[in-house]
Structure 1
Amino acid sequence: MFHKAVLTIRHIRSSDPSRAVSSRAGNVTGRYPSRKMGHTVQFESHKVELCGIYEYEYDHNVLEYYDQPPPIKLDYLSTEGKRICHLYNPDFFVLRRDWAGYEEWKPEKELLRLEARNPNRYHRDEKGQWQSRAATDAAHVLGLSFRVRSSEEIDWTKQRNLRFLEDYLRLVPSDGAPVPFKDSEIAPIVERITRHQGITLAELLEGGASVDLLYTLVAFEKIWTDLSAASFAGEPDRVRLFTDSETGRAHGYLAKPTSSATPTLLTGAAVAAQIEVGTVVIWDERRWDIVNVGQTSVALRSAEGHTVEWPHEQFQQWVVQGRLSLVCNKGVPSHTARTEILEKASSTELGVANERQAIVLAVLAGESPAKFGVSERTVRVWKARFCEALTKYGNGYLGLIPKLSKSGRRGARLSAMTVEMMDKFIDERYETERQMGKFAAYSELVKEWEAVGAGVASYQKFMLRVAERPAYEHTRKRMGNKAAYVHEPVYWELEETTPRHGDRPFEIAHIDHTELDIELKAAFPSLGAVSLGRPWVTFMVDAYSRRLLAFYLTFDSPSYRSCMMVMRECVKKHSRLPSTIVVDGGKEFGSVYFETLLAYYNITKKVRPGAKPRFGGVCERLFGTTNTLFVHNLLGNTQITKNVRQITKAVDPKNLAVWDLPSFSDSLAAFTHDFYDRREHPALGTSPRDAFHAALAASGKREHTLIVYDETFRIFTLPTTNRGTAKVVPNQGCKIQNIYYWCEEFRDPHIERTQVAVRYDPFDVGSAWAYLKGRWIRCRSEHYTRFAGRTEKEIALASDLLRARAKGSSLRLNVTAKMLADCLGEVYAQEPLLLQRLKDSQLRDTYQPTAATSGTVPAVHDVVPFQTSAVYIDRAAQLAEPLASDVLDSAPLEEFW
């Protein structure tokens, strides 16, 4: 069995995904760039399977995981008793340190539906866990395990925090390198957290701590927080930070502060409490009172007078399971007192208490102490201390901390009057638009205390009380709504999941195309005014702020070129790319070039389902706004074409067109930048620009994600061959798209007959690029004089013309580079190609080159790109991105158009 499992695991690890994911039921599919796996990983649902991927990616216990492993054969019975056999593709194969097997992720509602249809396929066991008996049996035959995972298992707060911190988590090296900050910057943060264990993120930020430094320290685990407790983006005043995990988990055992007048529900841990007559029990949302505690049973009486008896063992078991809740009305020390006891304990002592807590609860649940290697006498001592602390402090965990009798402070507390006056003063006098200084406010408060004879708190106590105030309300009352905006969540969901528009700018962006409602023309000296048709625009919109990050105008219909160019424009303008890009199912978004670019820059791709326009609402809304408020007010707009019969020569948009592509592009940029960007967005309550900058400051600058817009980046946004490489043929060069390209470096005998990484420019097929000896070298085509300046679109059109001419021939025409060059020079081909050349000329005038090229671009090593799941990319052909500090040849570089 073990040998069979090893063979299966080897086969899975060496195989590509068995199928490509698809959207058939309105699900959002995509690919995630896994750093752990070194390639992109498919997911078929961004609300279920993608959450599983994040769990695998950042779980240290998970060694490897593979999407869509080879199918396994299932054999089970239908509800009618008919045998069913078929192949089945699990979602993932997961290798953990202590477990290996398949995992299937499904929404809870879908599992309930499938169970009702055929319980032999999916069912819940007696423990409430979902099972698939057929899949489990099939996995066991291979010596592996199988597990059904439900959406109910997803920790949405942790998922949200992982995505928010992912830019910093990707900084953490596998070799244990130090934090990329100076010790002098780190020390004050760690020191403050050490003094105030559990200090909130909002308090640290309010004190001037660097956002990027804090998030980096959390990612490197130099400080600890429970990622499941509160959202970094939405609840900074609830994110509590500790020096280490043991201290943080120990604080987690304490109940929240409660007043002495409020009953405290004690479930689970209260099983060891001393059961007394008069104690209130909550059972099935009804109140019962303990009226008798005997040797073998406990008697309960309901409000209606009904009496029941419980055996001690069953009573305690139900309390442990949480089915019964004991209500303690006795006063217990304040939360501050219990917290101070924890602060006296070291990290080692808290770790010991954590272990004792787990053993005590397990023994109370019926397990044997011998299982844990502890004697019964020791456990009895721990149980006694647990009960004593539960009675004395309201929490039995404190009794398990070693040397508890020497911990804690028994000094006097501030009087209730002093605290009440301090809170009232802060609320009514300090937190106002007057923005009174802390010392001045404290001086006035001292006078009021002395006037009524109340105890005077120290200045430090006053400052701590101010720091404990909610960050948002505190900032709003003192500095206004705009200043407090960074502390306020801007999007709320009815169900607790990750926000659909993200928590920050550049977390999620949408890309889409539309044909604008306007005719453009251009004037040429030899031809006069020429109508060029309607332009296509590609928008990249930030989902969080609704800001237009970049746009690209062209006369060509949407293609991979539009996708690559809008990415290039985004980097040119913002020096960064989004973490997630949402696209539709168009072919241009599935191209190898686009997939490779996303994987290289660690961008998750989500494909929204077809026939679901609301999934693309962010772009669609901006398309409508652009047309109605801008395009429809220009000469040459095509609104009248909706009523074709009413069009006359005088009102024909083609005759009224006055805009050329460069002028229209400038005006569109002004509209989006000066009007749309500054206008209040109804979904935000503020303008996209203000929402963008405010959230960017709150979520961190993330400067390590910046991308230099240099020649290497522009080369990397160029397409390549299907394999990413081309073979160097002696005396001919490398062949790309049926055209040979040559450079003198190809004469090197060490390069001849080898596969080299290549790129070609779709806007100038006369040139291509080869990656030789650590640098990009410019190559020229064999018919450079004919191909120079020609676009890929024009070459494709010439190929179509050649095939059309040979249509009557019985022989299949193989178009060669020489045939294309001759075609471009023939007179008969000039008319159909002329319009495309005019459009390309306008495109060059719109997007002017920003640099020239010398023909070589150096590159840096040790940057590992990714391979996509859909199309395998040879690792030998993967490219490295150069850095400015590694540039060896500083000669000017040329843009490709």
Structure 2
Amino acid sequence: MFTESDLDYYCNVQHKLLSTGRDYLAACFNSNGSRSVGTHARGNVVSWVPSPKLNNKTFATESRGAEWALNTLMQFDSKVLWYGDQPEPVDIVRSYKNGRKRRASYTPDGVSFTSLGPIVYEAKTLSDVEKLLVKYPSDWKRLESNAVVYIPAKEAFMRLGLTHKVYIYKPEDYIYITNLDHILWARASLEFCSPESSEINKAFEMQFVLTLAVLQNQLKLSNQTPLIRAIDEGHIVVDLKDQLITDSENCLASTTHALLEHGKELRRSQLVYRKDLVNSKNLSLVPSLKGAEGALVRLEALNKGLSNRSTRRWKARIKAGEQLGLSPFQSLISNYHRCGNRKKNLNYKVQNFLNNYLLNSFIHRQGISEYRGFVDYQSLARDAHPEFSPVSHKTFTRHLSKIPPEVIAYAKGGNRMGNQMALPTDPEHRHLKAQTAWERAAIDHYCVDLYLVVYAKKDKIVAERPWLTLMVDLYTGKVLAFSISFKKPSRHSVAKVLRSCVRNHGSLPREIIFDRGAEFKSVYLASLLAHYSVILSLRPAGNPRYGGEVEGFFGEFKKLWLCQRSGNLANYKEARAVDGKKTPKKAAVLFPADFHRELKLFCAWRENACRGTGGHSAEILFEQSCKDYPYVSRTISYDAEFIIVTCVEAKKYTVDMQRGINVLGTWYSSPAMQLLLSKPRKNEVRLDPENPNLIFVKVCDQWEPFYSSEINAYSAKSPEHQLAEGMIKHEAANLKKKIRFEDDIDLARLVHEMDRVREEQEAPPILEFEMTESITEEQVEVFSKLKNTTVRPLNIRAWEA
């Protein structure tokens, strides 16, 4: 770990930097980045990568390309002692489009403390650098060494006594960076060691070059980790820039670079495809079927010795083609594809008005049809240029079709629609997808098109649509974990799916990609993933082309399973067309535990079903990849620490010393309550996202577990019913409040009904009379004397009439 004392020695003693340079490096070292990256990201994935060299902090990368590659290279380079992202900004004097120079603030992409001195970096892709060299030639220069310098930044840091460099990321670097990432991950896996050099040399005795898979079998290794460690230590040689070490069946290895090159050359000639093998060809050289047939007919006519005007012209074409190196067949290929008058016939004023109407008016109006737009154009054009006729409907449509769909979509629907209609990127320049299981996963939410029973009465059920949170492995498509909730997406949903993954597999993915929902940008999630050294990545907002792996599962689940269950909304048109008695909400029969069980069954079926174009099921791919590359996943134990870390912070609650803490109608208590006697009554609480009978309370700098009275019965239930109980007790608490309120209204209605019944009944008759004589006190005394009189039984012999 690089400390402040190391920094002081590095700046003052080892490199004797200027005071301004020392102050700048100290500010970079003590800050957590001068700005937040990815705020305005449109088409790039932003990541926060944990780094041991960064004192176990995270390195923010603005894209999967240049910034990610710079982070990997800095982490892999043994000369780099420390590096950080988004250093402090400096003032530079840069040029603008009008050629004027102005002072501006400039923030580099990274700074590193190397054994040769500190270096400040600007990371750019090759395509961006080529554009900048043309657009700002006075600021960006290419040197004879082919290196590129950004002159304003170089001069600014030169005044501080620091070096500024431009790192250029090339499209072909993606294989090299991916290999370095895996080597770094394998390097951290201490339970595996590289094989002995003698064993490696013995394996290469029969063949000077082997694939990593064959080498693994010959060395009798259980997985590929020892071989990757051997590559890192230099015992095995592979071409890291041209071959993927994660493709063990195809990655060639040898003991020296010379032998490896011979082996690659032998295989290269047999490859069906390799880089730069194909490119576009003109139709004059490679014709269509119709063009080839016409050329053959002309050749046949010449071979027959025919002589006419056409054959003389064909012979002249053959003679001209010979000078260009074309064969007779290629020379006689027709050029019909070049026919037509491509000159614009529209008047300049008419064309300008048409383009202005299409770009500034029509494409911005939502809901208008093409025909109505044409009618509107005709009306305006007749007034704008009465001396010229407006264009026809066909010309109007042709000019409209020339506008890129992306431009029209941005104008009508904003970023989301524009991204959806954008042209696909160049496949040769795309970043590599995940190459192993656990390398990359994605998490997303889905409001399930199905009603589940929340509460059941004798003559009525209360149903609600649940939210499904899914984690999918991006290499195999396997569902790693899922969680069900009656709450809208929140930190609780994320915590539940992460817990489910650790329970099922004892691991978390190396990187998890999220969308830009509030729960995914929370401090809770960032700190949780950083705690377990998991890379947090955010995909661009409003870009429907990202997240297709998770969205694909939602679509399959809806079409293949939900449509067959009672209470579904799979066909929303049908659900809206039925009357109130037939609504899906009233047809719900599944309880949360039932739905959880059915979802597990569907996932198990899907992972072994025939999907995609490969030759293996998702389950087979996942198991084999886990066996060969066990170092990729982040091994995590499902223990007390993990449970506490994944609990969600809540507001402070008041402690009742007789009953405990009341959360959502449930009382929690613990023997540790006695330590709170002299403490403030309100205490910090962390809620368990799954277990409704457990919370954690901060007691004397410790998180103490508090339990409800039902904790013992809860521990004896099945996993499905445990999760369902949490959904009903806590997540459906607000819904149950509404149910209780409706029950209270029913009770009030019954009371009013009883009052109405009593009013409708006839009142009983009341007999009233007047006393003619009053009772005297003497008469009252006669009866009062009888109270203490002895009663004797009568002796009667017989009763007679």
> Structure 2 length as normaliser, TM-score?
0.60
- 2:67 corresponds to which letter in structure 1? E
Matched, 1:598 2:611: no
CA contact (8 A) 2:508 2:633 kept: no
SS at match of 2:87: coil
Counterpart of 2:467 (choices 529, 536, 542) is 536
Give 1:761's match in structure 2, choosing from 668, 677, 688.
688
Matched residue, 1:57: 75
Of 577, 582, 599 in structure 2, the residue corresponding to residue 668 of structure 1 is 599
In 1, Cα distance between equivalents of 2:743 and 2:183: 51
Residue 233 of structure 1: aligned partner? 246
Write the distance in 1 (CA, Å) between the matches of 2:559 and 2:29. 53
Structure 1 residues 56 and 727: CA distance shift in structure 2, 3 A: farther
Q: Where does residue 17 of structure 1 map in the other structure?
A: 33
Match of 1:206 among 217, 225, 245: 217
Number of corresponding residues: 550
1:112-163 deviation per Cα after TM superposition (whole angstroms, max 9, x unaligned): 2233222233332333222111111111122211111111287333212123
CA distance in 1, matches of 2:245, 2:435: 9
Distance 2:626 2:163 in 1: 44
2-structure distance, mates of 1:236, 1:20: 41
2:762 is aligned to: none
Alpha-carbon separation, structure 1, partners of 2:210 and 2:455 = 67
Alignment of 1:335-374 (within 5 A): none
Which of 737, 741, 765 aligns to 1:831? It is: 741
Change (3 A) 1:142 1:747: farther
Q: Equivalent residues in 2 for 1:450-469 (5 A)? A: none
State the SS of the aligned residue for 1:549: strand
Amino acid at match of 1:30: S
Per the alignment, residue 202 of structure 2 pairs with 192
* 1:313-462 equivalence runs, <5 A: none
By how many angstroms is 1:772 displaced?
Answer: 8.2
1:101 and 1:139 in contact (8 A); partners too? no
Corresponding residue for 1:499?
Answer: 432
Q: 2:229 aligns with which of 217, 240, 246?
A: 217
**CA–CA distance in structure 1, aligned partners of residues 182 and 125 of structure 2:** 23
In the alignment, which residue of structure 1 is the partner of 2:552? 621
- Does structure 1 residue 517 correspond to structure 2 residue 428? no
Tell me the amino acid that sits aligned with residue 230 of structure 1: Q
Residue-by-residue CA offset, 1:535-583 (whole Å, 9 max, x unaligned): 1111111111111111111111111111111111112112211111111
Task: Please state if 1:8 is matched with 2:21.
Answer: no
Pick closer, same or farther for the CA change 1:741–1:124 going to 2, 3 Å: farther
Larger Rg: 2
Report the Cα distance in structure 1 between the residues aligned to 2:64 and 2:686, rounded to whole angstroms: 33
Q: What is the CA-CA distance between 1:212 and the residue it aligns to? A: 4.5
8 Å CA contact retained: 2:212, 2:227: no
Q: What does residue 188 of structure 2 align with? A: 170
User: Which residue does the alignment assign to 1:30?
Assistant: 47
Partners of 2:135 and 2:506 lie apart in 1 by 52
Distance 2:667 2:21 in 1: 49
Q: Secondary structure of 2:20's match?
A: helix
Shift of 1:67: 1.0
Matched, 1:548 2:560: no
Q: 2:152 aligns with which of 134, 150, 160?
A: 134
Q: How many Å separate the matches in 1 of 2:266 and 2:449?
A: 63
Which of 495, 508, 511 aligns to 1:564? It is 495
What amino acid is the match of 2:68? Answer: L
1:690 alignment partner in structure 2: 620
Closer/same/farther in 2, CA of residues 523 and 760 from structure 1, 3 Å limit = closer
CA separation in 2, counterparts of 1:14 and 1:657?
57
Distance 1:498 1:59 in 2: 22
Distance 2:451 2:692 in 1: 28
% of aligned pairs identical? 24
- The match for 2:636 among 707, 716, 728 is 707
In the TM superposition, residue 534 of structure 1 has moved relative to its aligned partner by 1.1
1:612 aligns with 2:543: yes
CA distance in 1, matches of 2:662, 2:526: 20
Asked if structure 1 preserves the Cα contact closer than 8 Å seen for 2:693 and 2:707, the reply is: yes
After superposition, residues 742-891 of structure 1 pair within 5 angstroms as 759-762=686-689, 768-769=695-696, 777-779=704-706, 830-831=740-741
Matched, 1:508 2:440: yes
**Matching residue's letter, 2:229:** L
d(CA) in 2 for partners of 1:635 and 1:13?
60
- Which residue does 1:75 correspond to in 2? 93
1: CA distance between counterparts of 2:265 and 2:254? Answer: 18
Q: One-letter code of the match for 2:639?
A: D
Which AA in structure 1 matches 2:520? F
CA RMSD of aligned residues (A): 4.5
Equivalent pair of 1:229/1:239 in contact (CA under 8 Å)? no
- Retained in 1: the 8 A contact 2:211–2:250? yes
Q: State the shift of 1:663 in Å.
A: 0.9
Deviations 1:800-836 (A, max 9, x none): 99xxxxxxxxxxxxxxxxxxxxxx9xx999538999x
Q: Cα–Cα, structure 1 residues 555 and 210, in superposed 2: closer, same or farther, change >3 Å?
A: same
5+ residue gaps in structure 2? 1-16, 268-322, 324-425, 712-721, 746-801
- Structure 1 segments unaligned to the other structure (5+ residues): 173-178, 243-247, 260-303, 305-492, 802-823, 836-897
Shift in CA distance, 762/232, structure 1 to aligned 2, threshold 3 Å: closer
- The whole-number CA distance in structure 2 between the counterparts of 1:828 and 1:635 is 24
**What does the per-residue CA deviation read over 1:832-860, in whole Å, with 9 as the maximum and x for residues that have no partner?**
8999xxxxxxxxxxxxxxxxxxxxxxxxx
* CA separation of 1:139 and 1:254: change in aligned 2, threshold 3 A: farther
Q: CA deviation at 1:529?
A: 3.8
1:676-712 per-residue CA deviation (whole Å, 9 max, x = no partner) reads: 1121112434321222223333x33449843333343
Shift of 1:234: 2.4
1:630 equivalent to 2:557? Answer: no
SS at match of 1:102: strand
Q: 1:136 to 1:736 in 2, by over 3 A?
A: farther
Counterpart of 1:653 in structure 2: which amino acid? P
C-alpha spacing 1:251/1:97, structure 2 compared with 1 (3 Å): farther
Alpha-carbon distance in 2 for matches of 1:780, 1:748: 16
* Contact 1:123–1:131 (8 Å) recurs in 2: yes
Indicate if the aligned counterparts of 1:29 and 1:45 stay in contact, CA closer than 8 A. Answer: yes
**C-alpha distance in 2, partners of 1:10/1:833?**
65
3-state SS of the aligned residue for 1:518? Answer: coil
Deviations 1:496-525 (A, max 9, x none): 76522x11111111111111111222453x
SS in 2 for 1:614: coil
Taking the aligned partners of 2:151 and 2:111, their CA distance within structure 1 comes to 17
Q: Partner letter of residue 14 of structure 1?
A: N
Contact 2:439-2:511 within 8 A present in 1 as well: yes
Structure 2 vs 1, CA of residues 796 and 630 (structure 1 numbering), >3 Å: closer, same or farther?
A: closer
Verify: 1:659 aligned to 2:590, yes or no: yes
Other structure's SS at 2:696 match:
strand
- 1:83–1:709: structure 2 CA closer, same or farther, 3 Å change rule? same
Deviation of the 1:665 alpha carbon: 1.7
Q: 1:158 to 1:772 in 2, by over 3 A?
A: farther
Between the aligned partners of 2:743 and 2:101, the Cα distance in structure 1 is: 63
Q: Letter of the aligned partner of 2:48 in structure 1? A: R
- Give the Å deviation of 1:743: 6.3
SS of residue paired to 2:443:
strand
Change (3 A) 1:39 1:154: farther
User: What residue in structure 1 maps to residue 291 of structure 2?
Assistant: none
Which residue is 1:48 aligned to?
66
Structure 1 counterpart of 2:113: 95
